[in-house]
Structure 1
Amino acid sequence: MDRALTAEPVTTDSPTAPEPPPLRPRHRLTAWAAGLLLVVPALLAGCRMLDTDGITPVPQLLSLLPWFTVPAGLAVLLAAVARRRALTFTAVVVLTAIGWSSLPYMPQLVTAYGLPLTQVRVLAANVEFGQATGALTETIRRERPQLVFVSECDRACGHALTTAFAAELPHHASVDADGSVGSVLLSAYPLTDERVIPAVMGMPGATAEIAGVPVRLQLAHPLPPMPDQVDLWKRELGRIANAARHRTGPLLVAGDFNASQDHAAFRSILDSGNLQDAARLADVSRTPTWPMEGPLPPFVQIDHVLVTEDFSVRGIRFLDLAGSDHRAVLTDLDLRGGR
């Protein structure tokens, strides 16, 4: 009797890879946390790469750009812990972009042509509605600058400074006004061709004769980028850039710019006038100058001395002024002759 043979069932389906196990709740929360930490750093890095200041709150947050390496770095760690490769890669890209964007703007090594003609000491200070006038007076007497750029110098401040230094700094250009609108430029050198850049706060300028060379001086004090005045802030910085673009000969621009190297509107001033930040040339372009009052430590450099290649920088110091929320910037320069 034949034995019945039974065939094993045959399946034609090819084997498939097992689906990855779902994220544990703890890892899911970690991945979400990493993603949230990346939102603002990614936005700022994108604006920096596109060379734009964007709209509120981007201009305000750009003042803190280097500090956003902290949340970006935490995002990298959390994404790695959550084992999300795409998220980890994205976090690394954002962290790299923030780090690159935080590098000092423009090269440090710039050739200044010609032999030194004379040394010039420049002091730029915001005296906060005139409150630091006394401290600034003491600083001028101690440091003996030849050029002093004073922002937020009200009428009483302007009168006090021009009277106290009538012998040492007999020449001045000013916008005489109350509160933050007033500004004064004191000079040991004769001043001609006085002009004011139109702005809400005073931005006087003039041409000084220094060692026989006409040097254009410009005080900078645009509005801060408050949420309701970002467009005006950009416009006033643009006017400074336009003035720098049309300069002839040596140019020196100093004051409270209410902007850092992380703002596109400030970088446009450097590019338009072929200017260099003296702090960058001295390798201290990340030294904060504001805010010197309040609960937060100073975190951003918004007070600058900008020069053309007709100057070389001998040194720079940042000085505390009692009564002001800004540090003053004291810069020693060499004015050089023709090439």
Structure 2
Amino acid sequence: MDSVTANPATEPEAEAAAEAGTHTRGRRRRRGTAWSGGILLSGVSAVLGFRLADSDGPTPVPQLLAFLPWLLLPTATALLLTVLARWRTGMVWGVAALGLLAWYMEPYGNTDAPKGRAVAELRVMTSNVEYDRETAGLLRAVREERPDLLFVEECDHACSATLREELPRAEYPYRASVDAYGPEGSVLLSKVPLKRAPRIPATLGMPAAVADVKGHPVRVQLAHPMPPMPRQVGLWREELGKIREYAAAGEGRSTIIAGDFNATQDHAAFRAILDAGRLRDAARLDGSSRAPSWPTAVPSPLGAQIDHVLATPDFSARDARFLEIGDTDHRTLVVTLTLHRPEKER
């Protein structure tokens, strides 16, 4: 009877081959995981590079900069992937990217208290009603908050007429506006006297005035530059530049600029406005520098703060709140500003 004898070397060789195959597959998986982490880190690093260079860059950088804090998610994911892949260089890269993001999430600008005594208080409200879609909600907010200065963006003819009818002239006797259809219309209403001033020429209406606040002149300007759409980044940058020029022209005079800036503190063009006019963001002064104002379609922790009230250092700020007023894609910002003056100026 024939018999078959097993080769004693067969089993160890088979085990070694299986082990080598498992090692190869594991190495391939780690390589794929490392590549995935590297791709994520490359994208985040590209955006961070423009932030580091104080530049808004081309599309899609300005759009991504608007949501800079949320780059923490892909960065943390990338770091986890580099750990799983045992890729040390990637781990260092991921930690550095997280550190830079954390650094840039800090509020921009100083919060030094104004010098001198308080001489006047102004309740300021800015609201983008999105083509008159939520003028009724704005009216409810106005009646509850009773602002002294009201900046309304995307207020078309119907919105403007409604404000005239529903807000008594005895309550808001002063007005500066750009009357137009669609998003081009804007209205500035005031309880304090307004003197007409040249407005910033732009695609969307940006009326301006000089307010008399208990005998102190205060430059007031509504801001509403074009958004950074993919084919309009140059126009967006140009119109923010015009607001920067207005801010710089104040040369230390009391100034308030409020509205829908279509920009966050992570945009170089917006920071240039703050620096040029030595302006401070009122929400930042009150500890709400990252509270989102747009879009309302996403939960409150998400989104970006593109609606601002900016003021010169002679103003302090308190009670800043972002209100949901109804069927508009922006939250309404309301804040109390207090004007301070040194003894010799009172």
Is the TM value for this pair above 0.5? yes
Match among 218, 224, 228 for residue 227 of structure 2: 224
Letter in 1 for 2:161: H
Q: 1-side partners of 2:141 and 2:98: how far apart?
A: 41
- Do 1:292 and 1:298's aligned partners in 2 also have CA atoms closer than 8 Å? no
Q: 2-side partners of 1:158 and 1:47: how far apart?
A: 40
Q: 2-side partners of 1:171 and 1:312: how far apart?
A: 24
The residue number in structure 1 matching 2:278 is 274
- Do 1:63 and 1:259's aligned partners in 2 also have CA atoms closer than 8 Å? yes
The residue number in structure 2 matching 1:46 is 49
- Do 1:113 and 1:336's aligned partners in 2 also have CA atoms closer than 8 Å? yes
Match among 60, 63, 72 for residue 60 of structure 1: 63
The residue number in structure 2 matching 1:85 is 88
> Deviation of residue 80 (structure 1)?
2.0
> Deviation of residue 314 (structure 1)?
2.3
Q: 2-side partners of 1:218 and 1:198: how far apart?
A: 12
The residue number in structure 2 matching 1:163 is 165
> Deviation of residue 298 (structure 1)?
4.4
- Do 1:45 and 1:101's aligned partners in 2 also have CA atoms closer than 8 Å? no
> Deviation of residue 77 (structure 1)?
1.8
The residue number in structure 2 matching 1:204 is 207
Match among 138, 141, 157 for residue 140 of structure 2: 138
The residue number in structure 2 matching 1:192 is 195
Match among 120, 123, 126 for residue 125 of structure 2: 123
1:310-331 per-residue CA deviation (whole Å, 9 max, x = no partner) reads 1111221111111211000000
Letter in 1 for 2:270: F
Secondary structure of 1:286's counterpart equals coil
1:138-189 per-residue CA deviation (whole Å, 9 max, x = no partner) reads 1111211110000000011112213322111110111000000000000111
Q: 2-side partners of 1:298 and 1:321: how far apart?
A: 18
> Deviation of residue 296 (structure 1)?
9.7
Q: 2-side partners of 1:316 and 1:98: how far apart?
A: 25
Q: 1-side partners of 2:138 and 2:53: how far apart?
A: 40
Letter in 1 for 2:141: T
Q: 1-side partners of 2:163 and 2:328: how far apart?
A: 16
Q: 1-side partners of 2:256 and 2:90: how far apart?
A: 47
Percent of residue pairs bearing the same amino acid type: 48
Q: 2-side partners of 1:219 and 1:149: how far apart?
A: 6
Change in 2 beyond 3 A, CA 1:168/1:136? same
Match among 73, 77, 95 for residue 74 of structure 1: 77
> Deviation of residue 294 (structure 1)?
6.6
Match among 150, 163, 168 for residue 148 of structure 1: 150
Q: 1-side partners of 2:299 and 2:277: how far apart?
A: 37
Structure 1 stretches lacking a partner, 5+ long: 1-20
The residue number in structure 1 matching 2:326 is 322
Q: 1-side partners of 2:178 and 2:130: how far apart?
A: 15
Q: 2-side partners of 1:227 and 1:295: how far apart?
A: 25
Change in 2 beyond 3 A, CA 1:83/1:293? closer
> Deviation of residue 110 (structure 1)?
1.3
Please report the RMSD computed on the Cα atoms of aligned residues, expressed in angstroms: 1.6
Q: 1-side partners of 2:191 and 2:299: how far apart?
A: 38
Secondary structure of 2:198's counterpart equals strand
Q: 2-side partners of 1:104 and 1:126: how far apart?
A: 24
The residue number in structure 1 matching 2:16 is none
The residue number in structure 2 matching 1:25 is 28
Higher normalized helix content (fraction of residues)? 2
> Deviation of residue 305 (structure 1)?
0.4
Q: 1-side partners of 2:334 and 2:81: how far apart?
A: 44
Give TM-score, length-normalised by structure 2.
0.89
Q: 1-side partners of 2:186 and 2:306: how far apart?
A: 17
- Do 2:176 and 2:196's aligned partners in 1 also have CA atoms closer than 8 Å? no
Match among 35, 40, 61 for residue 38 of structure 2: 35
Structure 2 stretches lacking a partner, 5+ long: 1-22
> Deviation of residue 338 (structure 1)?
2.9
Q: 2-side partners of 1:171 and 1:338: how far apart?
A: 28
Aligned residues: 318
> Deviation of residue 219 (structure 1)?
0.3
Letter in 1 for 2:98: L
Give TM-score, length-normalised by structure 1.
0.90
Secondary structure of 1:292's counterpart equals coil
